[in-house]
Structure 1
Amino acid sequence: MTLKIAVIGCTHAGTAAVKNIAAQYPQAQVTVYERNDNISFLSCGIALHVGGVVKDAGGLFYSNPEELAQLGVLTRMRHDVLAIDVKAKTLKARNLDTGELVEDNYDKLVMTTGSWPIIPQMEGIELGNIQLCKNYGHAREIIARANDAQHITVIGAGYIGIELVEAFRDQGKEVTLIDNMDSVMAKYLDREFTDLAGKELQERGVQLALGRTVKGFEGEDGKVNKVLTTNGSFDTDMVVLCIGFRPGTDLLKGQVDMLPGGAILVDDYMRTSNPDVMAAGDSCAVRYNPTGKAAYIPLATNAVRMGTLVGMNLLTPIVRYQGTQGTSAIKLFDWNIASTGMTEAAALAAGMNVKTITIQENNRPEFMPTYEDVLVKLVFENDGRIVGAQIMSRADMTQAANTLSVCIHNRMTVQELAFVDFFFQPHYNKPWNLLNTAGLAAMALLREQQAQTAQPAKVEVA
């Protein structure tokens, strides 16, 4: 009997899952249902395309239906899945080009439906030139409409919003950045870093409108021309919404276990609460190693790892998922910024008792012709266990965040980080590696606080 596998959605996680399933089960009948007219689009490259760094958007695809066909996979493009019955193991889909209804059954279902931008329901949201930023179609729309826009407003100061702001400024556009937080990239960075980033944006001519919430939009001739907020209004020719994503899991609501926000819960082998339904990518929650709890962290890196594991564990649980630290990075003009694990603010909000150290050090010896300042912050618990880190420099030191991610994954302490082995070469670093130095500073802080706690109380003699 031929094994029938249905895959719903085919971007990062879906493409990784399909390729691995086809490689490991060449006799299986694999059918992909994708509502778009393309697969495997790297949405993280949209800002690069908008800014002209990536000239050909075709380079942002790393697979296509023809490649999957060579692997024996049937890819049903422009097919929107309307309903799934996990008990009956059936699905219904509509061909968006012909209107034809398709019914299918499966032995194993793979949900890689990803996420979709959050669209606030407010006055004027239907006006023209209010754009989303997620897929290839959005990229083309943004570029086409930006050509005729002089003043562009970006709503949301996360990574995507920041990257778009830089791309628009490089094109000479007037840019306003609005966010309800009082600092940029607050999800990823603490104040020591966000203040520097915000200053850089302002010096580059970006109007920051932080600490305010968008209430609605006004327009003329069907196109937006004003953004209304809780603290003032802003004239604009175009708006790009970058306020976050929600998992696309409505098809399985009430049929598998999910977080309250709709992210599907999976075990270490990518299995949902239904043994014949697997899931991966932005539609899922992940195990967040700093806390050990399930969290919604939509990142392409998580998606491709999880999709690959679907293929490996499709019939038998073989390779375990190792969780994530949510490690990420961004280039902001001349700055290179990266973070991993929890910020100090996030850790405190989660009720954790953490300490932090922030050091500023040069990336290599001062006897070298050039060197750059590097800012490093460690977030750690009372026993020294590292739960988060951030790094920022005009030199590219972002790979240090990957090293610190491994430290968090392995539950390493600042004491271990202080003396772990790193190479020394004057072209690249100092005899005491930057991360060793951060670990030593954290150790010193712990010793100082332990000494203060251990001091006996003074007794006054009358």
Structure 2
Amino acid sequence: MKVIVIGCTHAGTAAVTQMAKLYPEAQITVYERNDNISFLSCGIALHVGGVVEHAESLFYSSPEQLQALGVETRMLHEVLAVDTKARTVTVRDIMSDQLITDTYDKLVVTTGSWPIIPKMPGMELDNILLCKNYAHAQMIIERAKHAERIVVVGAGYIGVELVEAFEQLGKHVTLIDNTPRVLFKYLDKQFTELVEQDMRERHIELALGQTVTALEGEQGKVSTVKTTQGEYRADLVIMCIGFRPNTGLLSGQVEMLGNGAIVVDEYMRTSCPDVYAAGDSCAIRYNPTGEPAYIPLATNAVRMGTLVARNLLGPTVRYLGTQGTSGIKIFDLNIGSTGLTEQAALDAGMIVKSVTISDNFRPEFMPTYEQALLKVVYEEAGGRIVGAQLLSKADLTQSINTMSVCIQNRMTMDELAFVDFFFQPHYNKPWNLLNQAGLQALQQTVIR
């Protein structure tokens, strides 16, 4: 069996390592246009802020490790075309500029995503950077040394984490986003208000609800960011406005969503025979809605890549879908979310209710305790849980993993009220926060 893998970040690395173990007789070839693999881009902000000293430690595999498994690893090779009918790929050796054609029995597309680059005046200026890979990380570190005023465009996880890192480096930081709140996709207003208050107290300038319209410069370098509501001085601009899937190679050959994300079934098969896909290039089933969605997360990618290997010779292990579960630590706040926010559920046309619990996470007779804010979103009819958010200075984020399981298993609020959680004063109260949410929802239900 001859297998070609295009792209080798999280999904590709997971697929290749598992295939090498499961099919030792297979001929596996990886084509990767970069000179490195498996870079944990979620650690870039940690590197920028000095928490992780060496960016090299953010790699968890290498071409040499794959080659030791018997995988033909061709770095600096860019796949230019795929012909799924002829089962061929056309590849350019970047170093020699030579073109080669290769054939496959099974094709695995793990080409990932790339930052969205807006088209606007001034994008050609120097010191306007993206944040995705190892080269970006090194560039951001180097340019930030000589920048006093830094503008971050995009208030998602990556943007917010970079803002924290730059603030800790003593920079004057402005955060711009066209949504009215930071972390809009992940948290409802009562949570984002706390994050924004913390940021403002640290003198971070928030320019929310406004869109960047142009970038202006002096002597070829960016100096001003213009928006629909104002102007902001900048020595350095980081664009973090989102990602789009890298799927042009399969355009017109497999089923895709409108944004180009490849649609795969629960066994990671595309609509084309013997072509599999995984990771940020794909859409996957979003359990809160039951519909395909584009949710580029490393956790989704490694699961999908592993399942490609498991299902390469036939459907054996199905994907359970995703809740888009994620966590972030911003300054002193530990935050986790899973599934739909209440706002997102309403925007999707769902009829939902929510409960919010604000309580100390453990008994007040303990020497110390912290307040926790928990919100659970559920369908009004039947009480099926569709989302949850949690924020505290104490690290309670594992509770969001628990809520992810609840959503995946289609649990209801009345079931959550009486789940068996342990009690120990070091960790919680006799009624766990999650139990409390279920009980509060139960109290709102009229018993007939």
1:340 Cα shift?
A: 0.3
1:103 Cα shift?
A: 1.2
Q: Cα deviations across residues 106-136 of structure 1 (Å, max 9, x unaligned)?
A: 1100000000000001100111100000000
Matching of residue 403 in structure 1 with residue 402 in structure 2? yes
Q: 1:432 & 1:209 partners in 2: Cα distance?
A: 40
Q: Which residue of 2 aligns with 1:351?
A: 349
SS of match in other structure, 1:388: strand
Q: 2:46 & 2:137 partners in 1: Cα distance?
A: 10
Q: Which residue of 1 aligns with 2:3?
A: 5
Q: Cα deviations across residues 386-435 of structure 1 (Å, max 9, x unaligned)?
A: 00000000000100000000000000011000001000000001111111
Q: Cα deviations across residues 179-203 of structure 1 (Å, max 9, x unaligned)?
A: 0011000000000101111111111
Q: 1:373 & 1:314 partners in 2: Cα distance?
A: 48
Q: Which residue of 1 aligns with 2:434?
A: 435
Q: Cα deviations across residues 19-45 of structure 1 (Å, max 9, x unaligned)?
A: 011111111111101011100000000
Q: 2:420 & 2:31 partners in 1: Cα distance?
A: 49
**Cα RMSD (Å) of the superposition?**
0.8
Q: 2:328 & 2:20 partners in 1: Cα distance?
A: 34
Matching of residue 197 in structure 1 with residue 195 in structure 2? yes
Q: Name the amino acid aligned to 1:389.
A: A
SS of match in other structure, 1:446: coil
Q: 1:443 & 1:344 partners in 2: Cα distance?
A: 18
Q: Name the amino acid aligned to 1:21.
A: M
Q: Which residue of 2 aligns with 1:387?
A: 386
Q: Name the amino acid aligned to 1:386.
A: I
Q: 1:312 & 1:93 partners in 2: Cα distance?
A: 27
2:413 touches 2:438 (CA, 8 Å); kept in 1?
A: yes
2:357 touches 2:433 (CA, 8 Å); kept in 1?
A: no
Q: Name the amino acid aligned to 1:174.
A: H
Q: Which residue of 2 aligns with 1:458?
A: none
Q: 1:38 aligns with which of 29, 36, 39?
A: 36
Q: 1:306 aligns with which of 304, 307, 312?
A: 304
1:363 Cα shift?
A: 0.7
SS of match in other structure, 1:377: strand
Q: Which residue of 2 aligns with 1:362?
A: 360
How is 1:114-133 mapped onto 2 (pairs within 5 angstroms)?
114-133=112-131
Q: Could you tell me the percent identity over the aligned residues?
A: 67
Q: 1:92 & 1:138 partners in 2: Cα distance?
A: 28
Q: Name the amino acid aligned to 1:443.
A: L
Q: Which residue of 2 aligns with 1:232?
A: 230
SS of match in other structure, 1:422: coil
Q: 1:80 & 1:34 partners in 2: Cα distance?
A: 6
Q: Name the amino acid aligned to 1:72.
A: G
SS of match in other structure, 1:27: coil
Q: Name the amino acid aligned to 2:298.
A: A
Q: Which residue of 1 aligns with 2:245?
A: 247
Q: Which residue of 1 aligns with 2:444?
A: 445
Q: Which residue of 2 aligns with 1:418?
A: 417
1:280 Cα shift?
A: 0.1
1:204 Cα shift?
A: 1.1
Aligned residues: 447
Q: 1:122 & 1:131 partners in 2: Cα distance?
A: 14
Q: Cα deviations across residues 152-188 of structure 1 (Å, max 9, x unaligned)?
A: 0000000000000000001000000000011000000
Q: Which residue of 1 aligns with 2:275?
A: 277
Q: Cα deviations across residues 291-342 of structure 1 (Å, max 9, x unaligned)?
A: 1100000000000000000000001110000000000010010000000000
Q: Which residue of 1 aligns with 2:110?
A: 112
Q: 2:233 & 2:289 partners in 1: Cα distance?
A: 43
1:344 Cα shift?
A: 0.3
Q: 2:320 & 2:292 partners in 1: Cα distance?
A: 12
1:101 Cα shift?
A: 1.1
Q: Which residue of 1 aligns with 2:325?
A: 327
TM-score, length of structure 1 as denominator length? 0.96
Q: Name the amino acid aligned to 1:197.
A: V
Q: 2:20 aligns with which of 12, 19, 22?
A: 22
Q: Name the amino acid aligned to 1:427.
A: H
The runs of 5 or more residues in structure 1 that have no matched partner are: 452-462
Q: 1:374 & 1:445 partners in 2: Cα distance?
A: 22
Q: 1:148 aligns with which of 146, 170, 173?
A: 146
Q: Which residue of 2 aligns with 1:459?
A: none
1:446 Cα shift?
A: 3.0
SS of match in other structure, 1:285: strand
Q: Cα deviations across residues 211-249 of structure 1 (Å, max 9, x unaligned)?
A: 000001000111100001000111100000000000000
Q: 2:198 & 2:94 partners in 1: Cα distance?
A: 45
1:58 Cα shift?
A: 1.2
Matching of residue 78 in structure 1 with residue 76 in structure 2? yes
Q: Which residue of 2 aligns with 1:337?
A: 335
Q: 1:324 & 1:141 partners in 2: Cα distance?
A: 33
Q: 1:102 & 1:142 partners in 2: Cα distance?
A: 35
Q: Which residue of 1 aligns with 2:285?
A: 287
Q: Name the amino acid aligned to 2:23.
A: Y
TM-score, length of structure 2 as denominator length? 0.99
1:205 Cα shift?
A: 1.3
2:154 touches 2:176 (CA, 8 Å); kept in 1?
A: yes
Q: Name the amino acid aligned to 1:412.
A: M
Q: 1:392 & 1:121 partners in 2: Cα distance?
A: 36
1:445 Cα shift?
A: 2.2
Q: 1:122 & 1:98 partners in 2: Cα distance?
A: 35
Q: 2:353 & 2:135 partners in 1: Cα distance?
A: 45
1:444 Cα shift?
A: 1.4
Q: Which residue of 1 aligns with 2:67?
A: 69
Q: 2:369 & 2:129 partners in 1: Cα distance?
A: 41
Q: 2:394 & 2:118 partners in 1: Cα distance?
A: 38
1:96 Cα shift?
A: 1.3
